[in-house]
């Protein structure tokens, strides 16, 4: 789960991380009010969306007067920001953060993530902070320093001091930087984060260190321990299809392509996404219907995949274990009844591969259906090839 920058900063502040004074605003009037309350000569108007890269896209503006705050707030609120993290469709700005302007001497990068190879939390930092850390990682990875943390003892002072020296911070800033690193680590562990990123962490004119941007991602599996975090959820930032799927107890992730797939089991779902790619298709989604797939659930999954015309074809790839292929077949018929009133065809071709429990019965059900565009595939490979071909033909 993601939250907004201003929410992340409030959490980090409670852990002792130094952040600029700031107040969220939902209207231009509130933005100006907040700037008055802050009373600083310079304040920054920042778009609050669940994506980075706002600075380059015009979503972060430095204002030197209340008039400028008003101008920038009206410009940014309601605007669709397209950044390198939003995808081409962009994200609409519904909230702003009005923040005290910082006196920046230099910008650094600092984050904590889980390294799956060592199964440990790792601290990463770089002198190349600011707007394009992805580029630094790709082109000059040696400029990113790392410290792996032993979970039994946590982040140790020698690691934070080693990092501060690697970053070349002036002597006065070493202790404040160490403190910030320690507090950020405590927040990461305390709130079950999967990512805690400060980009930029800045060195200020008076050799202090603070977090000018903040991004926290949370491990969804641990959210039950953090009702305070769940409350911060902003559903307007999330994919409506993913929300609908979550409500129906379906594991669905929109992948943006046009070949939809409906699969049981996360491993098979990943393999299916891979095989669609292998045959030159673009997967529309990852969808694991789970083990208790009743016909209503399958019908719901079909609806979600077809919504908005995103999918040009559907590949149903089921290996019946706990769930039964005859039920899945029944679900496809239910879906057809709901989706197409004549019950004779579905809006897009559907290729079905059924294997495992009651596969034969499932195949029989679909063979005898009046729906024209359901095609049975004997193998996963053949099924993937066929659906990719059909989708390409539909586009030609």
236 contacts 48 by C-beta, under 8 angstroms: no
Closest by CA position to 332, among listed 289, 273, 387: 289
Choose between 38 and 47: whose C-beta lies nearer to Mg ion.
Answer: 47
> Which tokens in the block code for residue 21?
């004074």
> Which tokens in the block code for residue 114?
């889980």
Token look-up 């019965």 returns 361
Q: Which does 53 bind (CB under 5 to 8 A by kind): Mg ion, ligand ADP, none?
A: ligand ADP
Rg, the chain, Cα only? 25
Query: HEC profile for 330-363?
Result: HHHHHHHHHHCCCCCCCCCCEEEEEEECCHHHHH
Closest by CA position to 154, among listed 181, 131, 125: 181
What is the nearest approach in angstroms of ligand ADP to the Cβ of residue 40?
9
What is the nearest approach in angstroms of ligand ADP to the Cβ of residue 130?
5
Token look-up 């694991």 returns 288
* Interface with ligand ADP in residues 15-54 (CB under 6 A): 20, 44, 46, 52-54
Closest by CA position to 148, among listed 161, 139, 159: 159
What is the nearest approach in angstroms of ligand ADP to the Cβ of residue 55?
3
Please select the residue that binds ligand ADP; options are 213, 258, 326, 385, rule is CB under 6 A.
213
Contact status: 101 vs ligand ADP (CB under 6 A): yes
Among all residues, which ones are annotated catalytic?
Answer: 109, 197
Choose between 61 and 241: whose C-beta lies nearer to ligand ADP.
Answer: 61
Please select the residue that binds ligand ADP; options are 131, 229, 352, 380, rule is CB under 6 A.
131
Choose between 130 and 176: whose C-beta lies nearer to ligand ADP.
Answer: 130
What is the nearest approach in angstroms of Mg ion to the Cβ of residue 107?
9
| Partners of 313 in the β-ladder | 259
Contact status: 326 vs ligand ADP (CB under 6 A): no
* Interface with ligand ADP in residues 226-265 (CB under 6 A): none
Please select the residue that binds ligand ADP; options are 99, 147, 326, 385, rule is CB under 6 A.
99
Binding stretches for Mg ion (CB under 5 A): 199, 213
Strand residues in 186-258 grouped as ranges (E) = 193-204, 209-211, 215-218, 251-254
- Which stretch, 74-82, 101-109, 160-168, 268-276, contacts ligand ADP (CB under 6 A)? 101-109
Rounded Cα distance, 241 and 257, in Å:
14
Choose between 36 and 367: whose C-beta lies nearer to ligand ADP.
Answer: 36
- Which residues, at least 6 apart from 393, have a Cβ–Cβ distance to it below 8 Å? none
Binding site residues, ligand ADP, CB under 6 A: 20, 44, 46, 52-55, 60, 99, 101-102, 104, 107, 130-131, 199-200, 212-213
């Amino acid at each position: 789960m993601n939250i907004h920058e201003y929410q992340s900063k409030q959490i980090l502040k409670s852990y002792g991380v130094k952040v600029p004074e700031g107040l969220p605003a939902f209207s231009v009037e509130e933005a100006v009010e907040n700037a008055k309350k802050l009373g600083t000569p310079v304040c920054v108007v920042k778009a609050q969306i669940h994506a980075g890269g706002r600075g380059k896209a015009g979503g972060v503006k430095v204002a030197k007067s209340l008039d400028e705050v008003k101008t920038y707030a009206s410009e940014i609120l309601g605007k669709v920001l397209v950044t390198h993290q939003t995808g081409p469709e962009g994200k609409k700005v519904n909230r702003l953060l009005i923040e005290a302007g910082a006196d920046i001497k230099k910008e650094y990068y600092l984050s904590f993530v889980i390294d799956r190879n060592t199964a440990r939390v790792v601290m990463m930092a770089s002198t190349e902070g600011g707007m394009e850390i992805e580029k630094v990682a790709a082109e000059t990875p040696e400029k990113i320093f790392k410290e792996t943390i032993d979970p039994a003892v946590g982040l140790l002072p020698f690691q934070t001091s080693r990092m501060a020296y690697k970053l070349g911070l002036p002597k006065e800033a070493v202790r404040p930087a160490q403190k910030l690193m320690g507090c950020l680590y405590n927040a990461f562990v305390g709130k079950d984060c999967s990512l805690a990123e400060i980009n930029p962490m800045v060195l200020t004119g008076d050799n202090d260190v603070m977090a000018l941007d903040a991004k926290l991602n949370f491990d969804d599996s641990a959210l039950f321990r953090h009702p305070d975090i769940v409350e911060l959820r902003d559903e307007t930032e999330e994919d409506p299809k993913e929300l609908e799927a979550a409500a129906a107890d379906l594991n669905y992730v929109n992948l943006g392509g046009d070949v939809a797939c409906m699969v049981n089991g996360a491993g098979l779902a990943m393999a299916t996404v891979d095989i669609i790619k292998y045959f030159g298709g673009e997967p529309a989604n990852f969808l694991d219907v789970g083990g208790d797939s009743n016909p209503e659930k399958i019908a719901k999954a079909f609806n979600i995949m077809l919504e908005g015309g995103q999918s040009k074809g559907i590949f149903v790839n089921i290996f019946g274990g706990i769930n039964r292929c005859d039920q899945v077949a029944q679900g496809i018929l239910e879906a057809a009844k709901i989706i197409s009133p004549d019950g004779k065809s579905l809006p897009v071709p559907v290729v079905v591969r059924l294997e495992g429990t009651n596969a034969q019965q499932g195949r029989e059900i679909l063979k005898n259906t009046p729906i024209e565009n359901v095609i049975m595939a004997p193998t996963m490979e053949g099924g993937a090839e066929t659906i990719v071909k059909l989708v390409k033909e539909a586009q030609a």
